[in-house]
Chains A and B, each alone.
Chain A
Amino acid sequence: MPDTVVSLQDTRLSLSGNAGMVDILKGIDLQVTRGETLGLVGPSGSGKSSLLMLVGGLDRATGGQVRVLGHDLTSMGEDALARLRRQHMGVVFQSFHLIPTMTALENVATPLELAGRRDAFDRAEAELEAIGLADRARHYPAQLSGGEQQRVALARAAAPRPDILLADEPTGNLDGDTGEAIMELLFGLRDRHGSTLILVTHAPDLAARCDRVVRLVDGRLSDAAVQDAAE
């Protein structure tokens, strides 16, 4: 029986904006099993990134339940969520989100340091070497190209060997060839560490590489579009 690592039940998210409350997610039910790769697709504004943020504990659901690795995220405090991410999750963003005041090496070492790993820098160096960026370790993000920044972000997410990798359109800001290389790296890392991968993407060919793809439309999972890539 497959081991469920992510479980959403009637999950809702509403945000207040200038025009009042806006319902972003309108009751999502979704299970993700250990080692699975799940593609989240859908038009812009459908709620894909928001859903990913809820799974990462980076935002709080306003209704329903979000369980990750057996933890109910809706009842956990900010710091407990941070500790959960530190131990079990890695997140990759479209805009890389490297800390501009840290070098590539320091960026990669930070989550390992936060997890209390004594060999944080050695491991960070090994990760950078693995993605071919050993010579850029002492460079600040502003001194790296977009592709290099995303590779550093990938190394940072993968360095703690997370159970779950969350990737939010990781190739959205990159050209085709660079994006292709990044995806190779992402799937390579996932294969190497056996992590569960949830990937938000607009690209059908990327989605096609996932074990399963779910489609979001207007804050709901679209039944018609839900497919199992394996079928």
Chain B
Amino acid sequence: MSLTVAARIARRELRGGLRGFRVFLACLALGVAAIAAVGSVRQSIETGLQQEGATLLGGDAEIQLTYRFASDEERTWIDDNASAVSEIVDFRSMAVVTRDGETERGLTQVKGVDAAYPLLGEVRLDPAMPLAQALNGTQDLPGAAMDPVLVARLGIAVGDRFRLGTQDFVLTAALIREPDDAGGGFGLGPRTLVRTEALQSSGLLAPGTLFASAYRMTVAAGTDMARLETQATGALGGSGLRWRDSRNGAPGVGEFVDRLGAFLVLVGLAGLVVGGVGVAAAVRSYLSEKTGVIATLKTLGATTHTIFLAYALQIAALTGIGIVLGLVLGALAPLALAPVIEARLPLPAVFGIHPAPLAEAALYGVLAAALFTLWPLARTEQVRAAALFRGAATSRLLLPRWPYLLALALLLAALVGAAAWLSGLARLTLWSAAGMTAAFVILIVVAAGLRRLSRRLARSRAVRGRSALRMALGSVGGPGSEAGSVVLSLGLGLTVLAAIGQIDANLRGAIARDLPKVAPSYFVVDIQTDQLDPLLTGLRADQQVSRVETAPMLRGVISRINGRPAAEVAGEHWVLQGDRGITYSAAPPNGTQVTAGQWWDEDYSGPPQVSFAAEEAAEMGLQLGDRITINVLGRDIEAAITSLRNVDFSTAGIGFILSMNPAALAGAPHSHIATIYAQPEAEARLLSQIGNAYPNITMIRVRDAIARIGEVLRGIAAATTYGALATLVTGFIVLIGAAAAGERARTYEAAVLKTLGATRRAILLNFALRSAIFGLAAGVVAIAAGGLAGWGVMTFVMETEFSFEPVSALAVVTGGALTTLAAGLGFAWRPLSARPARVLRARE
């Protein structure tokens, strides 16, 4: 019965239109739209990766081997189970150009292919030509296609020669697009594409050099890929092969997109929370205007329950409109921007309306709207019929009754729970939720403190005679102050931005500023055993080289732990993803800190032993005495963990997770790596000298690698900043809402002040001062809370040092103050221009 009556009252109340709800609708729609748009783009990419999985992989399935080509037995199995096979070899090397006696070198990721490549998709070249023609080259030399970036860096053109190892090639085309590019993951050097057979005499595929081979297969339509994988691992399982198939053609990329998307959804959720402040303010303002109506309804016999229902139904209807608007916007924006997004993505994306992310955004919208409107709605209970005659409702912040508080707690838990579950980033979600809640509480406390302080200052003798400041402080501290909504909405938006600013600046600082101080100049790979001594002798005699470190290196895959498949024991720990570098050493290298167990004797030749990195062992649940099986070059080696040691990866020096006793790896062909610490001015000379003397050696300039990592980070930071900006835009809308809501009060105040003799300048100064006070308070809290969040993320997540970044912080405070000032002054025009008589008469 009361529902029917409530629905009827709600319908009549809504006949007045949605004018007072523009901020409500904008906040909710924008928050939902941001989440829906991010989710839709993520889904579009994931669908693209799924649909184009085989093309991205370069075949229906792939068997990857480290350090070696397939054995005859393996090749036979592959040929028997595939309708077509293509063999690929991939490694890093140096492309060398000699011109007028000068030598130019560039790091490149070489891909050697056979005639069957590509099994799927098409290679695009410039000038356009068939790949076979490009790789055939000329009569004298094999051909090569090269990434335009490297072509430009080396300063060569089509028809010019360059060298890989000891083999010359002719550049026949620029490589515009490889169909299987995205599957390969992050590479430090631009691509060079050549025929594998042309590399035979390059010296780059000698035993022990670092290369990976891959066998791409196409199989008959309808083949059960899971079964084929089982068959492959059953038949060839002990050989350290890695299997991928079209079910997940680019696992690394897929995971990256998934993680980044989930993270951005969380940032979007922060925006929705900021919008929630605006939603709550709009509902509070609406209900306070309705005090008379509510009091009248109570006088006429309406129960508290009926009145609550009547207004809850109105809010529910408006929430529905806001969410639908947001979903339409969030679904259409990626479609409209599809050409722009596609052009920037190296990945296939299938843009369309994806229901799942829209449903997720709608769920967040409903939960956030319920969470932020329940408290103001509960206040309808506190309106007494007598309010009609007293003419004013209580403005005190009264706690609602316990059922409402319980419902609020449940809604909060549901929102955080949904975000944790749907994003798959439970820990980050919980920390973010805790951070947001803390920021929320801090801002409420600060707003209350600001009001109290302003009230006290307004009455102090210090501001007497400074009428604009005294009036501004009086307004900030007095009844009907906007401090709560403005400080909260702006503060939350700025806190998110400040936290991201601090994290971004610290990350960039750690990589671009701090790392080069401790990092070596060059990371050298593929040093053959017979090259090691002459190379070291030369380097140690060099005055400009301060330090050289070397280690033998093999690569292997941890396949089993204590006889069980490794993934069963340690899940998806990164150490188990792909192959890992392994070294050996008779004695612990200088500076080694053994934290548990004991290093083997120098002449130890018993069963294999391994020293494991302590931190990673703890993460994987490994202990001294555990046995791990490592597949090296197709051979399984089972070794007992006899010691744990600290490994510091933060200096970009040599660091191995696994170090074994020399006898365990005896006879395995391998190469050595080295790190060279030299003065910056010697770097070019060293590259030239070593490159000339040892053409097979690859030298990775650490500065270039850092720059490349910096580029990738910049991309991620840009995406995050866009997400944070959406939060700030929402915050700005909330601010505008607050400013617009206060316009009537300010117009009246200005009219009275004019009557008392205030000039427009004095009134404007008064308004500007209070905006600046709000902005400054919000900015200061944002810096503190953002700094705290940045410290937490850098210390506990990134496990690196945090240093407060003042430039980013200053930008946030200035931005905050200017934003509130702009919003405040934007709404000062009407109060300043209105004739006092008309404003005052309207109030008579």
Q: Which residues of A contact B (CB under 8 A)?
A: 49-50, 53, 56, 58-60, 78-79, 82-87, 91, 93-95, 97-103, 106, 110-111, 113-116, 118, 120-121, 138, 140, 142, 156
Contact = CB atoms under 8 A, between A and B. Distances in A.
B744 to A, nearest CB: 12
A114 B467 contact: yes
Contacts of A140: 478-479
Interface string B457-484: 0110100110100110011001111000
A11 to B, nearest CB: 14
Contact of B753 (A49, A99, A115): A99
B541 interface: no
Interface in B551-600: none
Interface in B741-794: 745, 749, 752-762
Given A58-B836, A95-B844, A101-B481, A115 B474 contact: no
A65 to B, nearest CB: 18
A113 B479 contact: no
Interface residues of B, number: 36
B635 interface: no
Interface of B: 392, 458-459, 461, 464-465, 467, 470-471, 474-475, 478-481, 745, 749, 752-762, 835-838, 840-841, 843-844
A156 B467 CA distance: 15
A100 B479 contact: yes
A99 B762 CA distance: 16
Given A49-B841, A58-B835, A97 B752 contact: yes
A219 to B, nearest CB: 16
A110 B467 contact: yes
A110 B753 contact: yes
Contacts of A120: 464-465
Contacts of B837: 50, 53, 56, 58-59
Contacts of B749: 99, 101
Contacts, number: 108
A101 B480 contact: yes
B835 A82 contact: no
A103 B459 CA distance: 10
B812 to A, nearest CB: 29
Contacts of A98: 752
Contact of B755 (A94, A97, A102, A103): A97
Given A101-B481, A120-B464, A82 B758 contact: yes
Contacts of A87: 757
25 contacts: A49-B844, A58-B755, A58-B840, A59-B838, A82-B758, A83-B757, A85-B755, A91-B755, A94-B844, A95-B840, A97-B752, A99-B752, A100-B479, A101-B480, A101-B481, A102-B478, A106-B458, A110-B758, A111-B756, A113-B467, A114-B467, A114-B756, A118-B464, A138-B459, A140-B479
A102 B474 contact: yes
Nearest to A166: B755
A59 B479 contact: no
A86 B475 CA distance: 21
Contact of A97 (B464, B465, B470, B840): B840
Residue among A106, A114, A115 facing the most chain B CB atoms (10 A cut-off): A114
A121 to B, nearest CB: 6
Contact of A118 (B465, B756, B761, B843): B465
Nearest to A173: B844
Contacts of B392: 142
A82 B757 contact: yes
B478 A101 contact: yes
Contacts of B844: 49, 93-95
B753 A85 contact: no
